[in-house]
Amino acid sequence: MTSYKVKPSKPFAVFGALVGIAMLVFVLMNGIGRENGFVWLWSAVCLGIVGFNLWAAFSKRGGTEVVESRSGEEA
């Protein structure tokens, strides 16, 4: 069985990281959800998005998906 790692293009992954940073800045500046703690959940999710996209963009093993094919089949 052959497996191939699939990763997003570097520009797309960097764009995803920038969108995550913009989402984080927006919620921190507007103070949405500070009364009920939603801002902390939102911040954690945004940091996860940024970290995942930067890992996918700059890691040599930054494959976000693995595609496997059985012998005799083409992927």
What tokens does 14 get?
């960097």
Q: Pick the range with the lowest mean pLDDT from 5-9, 11-15, 22-26, 46-50.
A: 5-9
pLDDT digit string, tens, across residues 39-73? 888 899 999 999 999 988 888 776 677 677 766 55
How many domains does the structure of the chain reveal?
1
Q: Establish if 72 belongs to a structural domain.
A: no
Long-range CB pairs of 29-36 (<8 Å, 24+ gap) are none
Give SS3 for 64: coil
Task: Tell me whether residue 67 is in a domain.
Answer: no
Pick from 20, 8, 24, 3: which is nearest to 58 by CA?
8
Specify if 71 maps to a domain: no
Domain membership of residue 50 as a residue range: 8-60
Instruction: Kindly give, in sequence order, each residue whose CB lies less than 8 Å from that of residue 33, ignoring residues fewer than 6 positions away.
Output: 27, 39, 41, 42
Is residue 70 included in any domain, yes or no? no
